[in-house]
Amino acid sequence: METRRGPARPVEDGEVITEENVYERPDRPMAFFPGQVVADLTVSAVLLGVVVALSYLVPAPLTEPADLSTTSYVPRPEWFFFFYDQMLMFFPGSLLIPVGGVVIPLLFFLLLLAVPWLDREPGHSLSRRPFAAVVAFLIVLAVVLNMLLTLVRILNFPQS
Amino acid sequence: MSSNRTRAARLGRSALDWLEERTSIVSMAEHFLYEPVPSRGRWLYTLGSATLFLITLQFLTGILLLFYYVPTTDHAWDSIYYMMSQVYFGKLIRGIHFWSANALIVVIGLHMMRTFLSGAYKRPREMNWVVGVFLIFIVTFLAFTGYGLRWDQEGFWAWEVGVMIASYTPLIGDWVVTFLLGGDTIGPASLSRLFAIHVWLLPALLAPLIGVHLFLLRKHGEFGSEFEYSERLARLRERRRLEGYAEEEEQ
Ligand code: HEM
C-alpha cells in the first residue's frame, strides 16, 4: 500500500510539477468522508424517494397474460431500446437484420471498448479534446433523434 | 476514580482494539473514509455511487420478488398479479424493482457520459472504462430479460422479437437461439432459461465486475475533471515558460 500513487500522496509545497505528476492529486483535496459521502447519500436518498413514490403513483405495468397463439401483437420495446428498435427500421428484411440488429451494435460495443486508445488528444477537458467532443455530441444527437423517431412510430401503433 | 463515562469510553476503545487486532477493520475504515478525493465537482462524482445504490436496490428487491414469483409459463403472470393485488408491500417491492431499473439505465448512462466528458478514462484509468463498458452491457441485458419474465403480452412479444434478432447473429445464430429457448421453439423451458439468465447468470457476472471496477477506482484514485487540477496545470505551464526563457538566454 505504501507505493500507491494517486491523490493519496501527501501535499508537498515545493513540489516540482511535471507532466507525469500533475494529475497525481487535485488542487483542493478533501477527505472522502464526510464531503463526498454526504453528497452521495443525498443523491441516493432522492432517488429512493422518487422510486418509492413512483411505485405507488404509477404502478409497475402488467398487461394481459402472454398468449402464444396471437399473431398480430405488435410489441413495444422499452424506452431504452427505442434507439435499437429504430436501427431495425433502417435495416429491414432478413438480409439486413443481422447488420442493424447484431453487427452494428457489436461494432459500436467494440468501438466503446477502444475509446481510451482512440482518443489520442492529450488534454482531459473538452476544450482540449475537440474531436472527442464533436463525436460525443453527434452520437448523443443520433441516439436522441432515433428515440424520437421510434416514439412517434409507437404512438401511431394500432393498440395503445 | 473514573466516572462511568470514561469507563465506557475505555471499554469501547478496548473492544475496538480487540476487533482491530483480529480484523484490522478500524484501520480499514479509516483508510476508506479519509481517502483524499477532488472536491470541486463532487456532485458530478455522485453518479457512480448512485449507480451502485440502484443496483443494490435491484438485488434486494429482486430477492424479495423471488419469494412469490413462479418461473413457469402457467404461473408466472398469476404470481405477479397476486403480488400486485394481495401481497403486503408487493406493489412497493415490484414498483421499486421496475422504477429503479429505469432510473438505473438513466444514471449509468449519465455516469458514462460524465467519465467520457471528463476524459477520466485516460491513462492510467483505461481499464476502469473497459470494465464499465462491460457493466453497461450486462445491465442492458438484465433490463431486457426482466421485461420477458412478466410473461405478459408486452414483455413476452418484446422478448420474442429479441430472440428473433439474436437468431440472425452471423454464424452462431442457431446456437444462440437454442441457448436462449432451451430448444428450437418457445416452450416451458424457455421461461426457465430466461429466469436463470436474469436471476443467476447476469447478476453473477455483474457483481464481481463491479468489484473490479471499484478496486480499480481505489487503486488509481478518483480523477474527477481537469478543473480539479487547474492550479497545478497553471504552475506546470508557468515553470515551462520560465524554462523556455532560460533556454533562450543561454543561446
Ligand atoms: C454497474 C455499473 C457501475 C458502477 C456501480 C460504477 C461505479 C463507479 C463509482 C462509484 C465510481 C467513482 C465515483 C464517480 O466517479 O462517479 C466510478 C468511476 C468511474 N467509472 Fe463507473 N460505475 C459503473 C459503470 C460504469 C460505466 C458504464 C462506465 C463507462 C463505460 C464507467 C466508467 C468509470 C470511470 C472511467 C471511472 C473513473 C472516474 C474518475 O476517476 O474520475 N463506469 N464508477
Q: What ipTM goes with this model? A: 0.91
DSSP annotation string for B192-249: HHHHHIIIIIHHHHHHHHHHHHHHHHHHH-----GGGGHHHHHHHHHHHHHHHHHHHH
A41-45, B14-18, B31-35, B219-223: range with highest mean pLDDT? A41-45
- Using a CB-CB cut-off of 8 Å, the residues of chain B touching A49 are none
Cα B129 to middle of ligand 1, angstroms: 7
Question: Would you tell me the crossing angle of helices A104-113 and B126-149 to the nearest 10 degrees?
Answer: 140
Atom of ligand 1 nearest to the CA of B133: 30
d(CA B26, CA B16): 7
pLDDT for A158 equals 65
Residue that wins the pLDDT comparison between A151 and B198: B198
Q: Which residue has the cell 423471488?
A: B66
User: Which pTM was predicted?
Assistant: 0.91
Confidence of residue A12 (pLDDT cuts 50, 70, 90): low
The SS3 assignment for A60 reads coil
Largest CA distance in chain A: 77
The SS3 assignment for A75 reads coil
Q: Which residue ranges make up each domain of chain A? A: 26-61, 79-154
DSSP annotation string for A4-43: --STTSPP-TTPPP-TTTTTSS-SSEEEIIIIIHHHHHHH
**Amino acid (1-letter code) at residue B187:** G
Confidence of residue A100 (pLDDT cuts 50, 70, 90): confident
- Residues ≥6 apart with Cβ < 8 Å to B178: B184
Q: List the residue whose alpha carbon is closest to atom 13 of ligand 1.
A: B48
- Per the prediction, chain B carries an average pLDDT of 94
Contact of A10 with chain B, judged by CB distance below 8 Å, is answered with no
Q: How far is CA A68 from CA A17, A65, B46, B144, in A?
A: 68, 10, 44, 19
Are the beta carbons of A88 and B80 separated by less than 8 Å?
A: no
d(CA B18, CA A159): 67
Q: List the residue whose alpha carbon is closest to atom 22 of ligand 1.
A: B48
Are the beta carbons of B34 and A31 separated by less than 8 Å?
A: yes
Domains along chain B with CATH numbers? 39-219 (1.20.810.10)
Contact of B86 with chain A, judged by CB distance below 8 Å, is answered with no
pLDDT for B196 equals 97
User: For a pLDDT cut of 90, what percent of chain B falls above it?
Assistant: 84
Strands (DSSP E) contained in chain B are 36-38
Q: In this structure, are residues B160 and B186 in contact, taking their beta carbons and an 8 Å threshold?
A: yes
Average the pLDDT over B103-132 and give the result: 96
Average the pLDDT over B121-135 and give the result: 96
C-alpha cell, B142: 438484465
B168 — alpha (psi -120 to 50), left (phi > 0) or beta? Answer: alpha
